[in-house]
């Protein structure tokens, strides 16, 4: 799995993880020099540049801080894959303005 993640990253493809899952990105060596967030209890086990925020995007890497950030995390991923307009339309339709 580490090799597959590195290949995705090397080709600028989306790599996303929420809660403690950014540890997988760390084990693949993808977080060095990247802005990142995750569940607070794993903070000291991550490389990268810690950002105290619900969702952080640095290039093609998107990280979320915990289960309660699932919706903003999903909208950030949707924005990356489509456009901000599409993500805004989806958010409005879900009453998540």
pLDDT tens-digit profile of 42-88?
A: 999 999 999 999 999 999 999 999 999 999 999 999 999 999 999 99
Residues ≥6 apart with Cβ < 8 Å to 32: 47, 48
CATH code linked to domain 2-93: 3.40.50.880
pLDDT at res. 1: 86
- Whether the pLDDT of residue 7 is over 80: the answer is yes
Q: Provide the 8-state DSSP code for 41.
A: G
Q: Is the pTM for the entire model greater than 0.85? A: yes
Task: List the chain domain ranges.
Answer: 2-93
Q: Which helix (DSSP H) or strand (DSSP E) does residue 3 occupy?
A: helix 2-10
């Amino acid at each position: 799995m580490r090799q597959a993640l590195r290949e995705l990253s090397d080709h600028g493809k989306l790599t996303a993880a929420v809660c403690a899952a950014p540890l997988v990105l760390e084990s693949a060596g993808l977080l060095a020099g990247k802005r990142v967030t995750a569940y607070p209890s794993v903070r000291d086990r991550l490389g990268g540049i810690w950002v105290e925020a619900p969702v952080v995007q640095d290039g093609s890497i998107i990280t979320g801080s915990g289960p309660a950030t699932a919706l903003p995390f999903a909208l950030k991923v949707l924005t990356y894959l489509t456009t901000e307009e599409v993500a805004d339309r989806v958010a409005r339709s879900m009453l998540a303005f």
